[in-house]
Amino acid sequence: MQSHIKVSLEFKCIIGLLDFERIQEQKVLIELEAKSKKFLDYAKLCARIEKIYKKKKFKTIEKSLKYICKDIKKHHKKLQFINITCYKPDIIKNARVGASLSKKY
């Protein structure tokens, strides 16, 4: 069974390099698209992503994306494609700052 999912997540966590970012949680938006040869449970995937972000307290968005991609591939061996974007919508006034990572397996 082929699985193709798209999810959008929103939660608060510690992420960033600046002093105040290491203390104050901020809102992040995660956009995820994934394809697999096997079923992907989006509810479990969403819960896992949020748990990782809250626990790891990443210093950069880029490192967070690399970590998430590795983690998802580790737990979903049949993963074929992943595209993940993380935005920090409140970090700069009038801007939606973020980064993306795409991988084909």
Q: CATH number for the domain including 22?
A: 3.30.1130.10
Residues near 2 by beta carbon (within 8 Å), at least 6 away in sequence: 35, 36, 37
pLDDT by residue for the chain (105 residues), tens only, comes to 799 999 999 999 999 999 999 999 999 999 999 999 999 999 999 999 999 999 999 999 999 999 999 999 999 999 999 999 999 999 999 999 999 999 999
Alpha carbons within 13 angstroms on the beta-carbon side of residue 101 total: 13
Q: Which domain holds residue 13?
A: 3-104
